[in-house]
Amino acid sequence: MTVVRVDPVRGLALCADADGERVTVDVALIGSVGVGARVLVHAGTALAALG
Amino acid sequence: MRFVEEFRDRELGRAAAAEILGLVEPGRHYKLMEVCGGHTHSIYKYGVDDLLPANVELVHGPGCPVCVIPMGRVDDGIALAHTDGVIFTCFGDMMRVPGSRGSLLEAKAQGADVRMVYSPLDALRIAKSNPAREVVFFAVGFETTAPSTALTLRRARAERVANFSVMCSHVTIVPPLRALLESPDLRLDGFIGPGHVSTIVGGRPFEFIPADYGKPVVIAGFEPLDILQAIAMILRQLNQGRCRVENQYTRVVPYEGNRRALEVMAEVFELRPHFEWRGLGFISHSGLRLSEAYAEFDAERRFSVPGVRVADPKACQCGEVLKGVIKPWECKVFGTACTPERPIGTCMVSSEGACAAYYNYGRFARQRAAV
């Protein structure tokens, strides 16, 4: 998924999939992430940043 | 889309298949297990096994966390779902898994408030939106999913969401692998290691496989080129007499695992002394429950659950499929009494189940020649 918006205070990010569907994702496992980053998401949690 | 399409390139796939063909020793039979249900799904969806010579046999492993949930555990969930005031939440796959008297989906049709969620965060959101109701999340999954539950419980505590609890049925991948390696039913040459579990635990937990059992392991991604490359890496090890854990999925998997994930899991969970796996029986130290520090969120302490062990239907051969002893089409009821629309066993229900994968994609496989 692609990061659309980040909420660093709550450790969440709004991410979009290939079809544009947006979900809230917990990014606590991957540290800081920026808008536009590609992340591997499973069950609402980012497991890894890609590239 | 980057990180996806380049790993589905047809020409590169043909080149990888040719490389595998060059590595196969004529007349030798290779039996490789893909542990993860996601790999099984990809193998059939993209026709990976069609590209392999017949003497490279892929055996499906127990890495489908929905498939290994025993019927009694489903019954426990249904009992909770029927409890007054409870909103029972679970992943979509779990809703159709048969218990002894129906599924969660059927319980929903009977009036229980069962809701499908994409993540435990969604379940927590439901709890915050319904403060007068008790919201239970049926937590299922291997180490890939357990951190998500753990992080959500941390949030529940921090935000003081008292009406949220978890029915923890998370399992760990190493004990069933050890059980399979000890089994006389199976003689494997190597393993395609679970890609996303490894993003959490890394490669070190699998080092016992080459060390104690002399079998190579290659951790693989889920695109068809990932799987083909991993197979080539295993064959190369076998041909060279080497035996170690290798990481094909380096773009995602750090060999040391994810420290943050391992820390939050250690904080929130503890190992159960034993846990029942559908078709595999009880396996020691293979299931997780909430630690004492998070006992207030444990649905099994907050509510009364039957906790009754239920035998699988006689016709169901999911256990043999999960152990790799038989292929889906070798099950007596595959495609006849057991279909995705009317499943008898879990392997036909879950998107990561071998039977569902074969039913949806593998029935159109071509004949393969041996080298």
Contact (CB<8Å) B145/A42? yes
Q: Is the pLDDT of residue B363 over 70?
A: no
pLDDT at A14: 96
Greatest mean pLDDT range, B207-211, B274-278, B367-371? B207-211
pLDDT at B358: 87
Q: Is A7 on the interface with B (CB under 8 A)?
A: no
Interface residue of B8, B36, B142, B148 to substitute, partner A, most A CBs within 10 Å:
B148
Q: Is the pLDDT of residue B367 over 90?
A: no
- Which residues numbered 43-102 in B keep a CB inside 8 Å of some CB on A? 91
pLDDT at B320: 86
How many CA atoms lie less than 13 Å away from B237 in the CB half-sphere? 23
Q: Is A42 on the interface with B (CB under 8 A)?
A: yes
Which one of A24, A42, A50 has the shortest CB-CB distance to B144?
A: A42
Contact (CB<8Å) B118/A23? yes
Q: Is the pLDDT of residue B365 over 70?
A: no
Which one of B251, B252, B260 has the shortest CB-CB distance to A28?
A: B260
Interface residue of A2, A42, A50 to substitute, partner B, most B CBs within 10 Å:
A42
pLDDT at B85: 96
Q: Which residue in B261, B287, B257 sits closest to B140, CA to CA?
A: B287
Given pLDDT bands bounded at 50, 70 and 90, which one contains residue A23? very high
pLDDT at B1: 64
For A14, counting Cβ atoms within 10 Å of its Cβ (0-12 exposed, 13-18 middle, 19+ buried), the class is middle
Helix (H) or strand (E) holding B38: helix B37-45
Q: Is B102:B109 a contact under the CB 8 Å cutoff?
A: no
* Tokens 């207030």 belong to residue: B296
Structural domains of chain B, ranges and CATH numbers in brackets: 71-172+257-302 (3.40.50.11740)
Q: Encode pLDDT of B157-175 as tens digits.
A: 999 999 999 999 999 999 9
Q: Is the pLDDT of residue B4 over 80?
A: no
B258 CB neighbours in chain A (<8 A) are: 29, 47-48
pLDDT at B364: 63
**Residue type at B133?**
R
Bridge partners (DSSP) listed for residue B270:
B289
A26 CB neighbours in chain B (<8 A) are: 121, 148, 151-152, 155
pLDDT at B8: 86
Q: Is the pLDDT of residue B327 over 90?
A: no
Q: Is the pLDDT of residue B192 over 70?
A: yes
* Tokens 């927590």 belong to residue: B124
Q: Encode pLDDT of B285-317 as tens digits.
A: 999 999 999 999 999 999 999 888 888 888 888
A50 CB neighbours in chain B (<8 A) are: 2-3, 251-252
pLDDT at B245: 98
Parallel, antiparallel or unpaired: strands B86-90 and B114-116: parallel
B200 CB neighbours in chain A (<8 A) are: 47
> Rounded mean pLDDT of chain B?
93
Looking at the domain covering A2-50, what would its CATH class be? Answer: mainly beta
A18 CB neighbours in chain B (<8 A) are: 1, 4
* Tokens 């609402």 belong to residue: A44
A28 CB neighbours in chain B (<8 A) are: 151, 260, 264
Given pLDDT bands bounded at 50, 70 and 90, which one contains residue B357? confident
Which one of B3, B141, B258 has the shortest CB-CB distance to A43?
A: B141
Q: What is the ipTM of this complex?
A: 0.94
Distance CA B87, CA B103 (A): 16
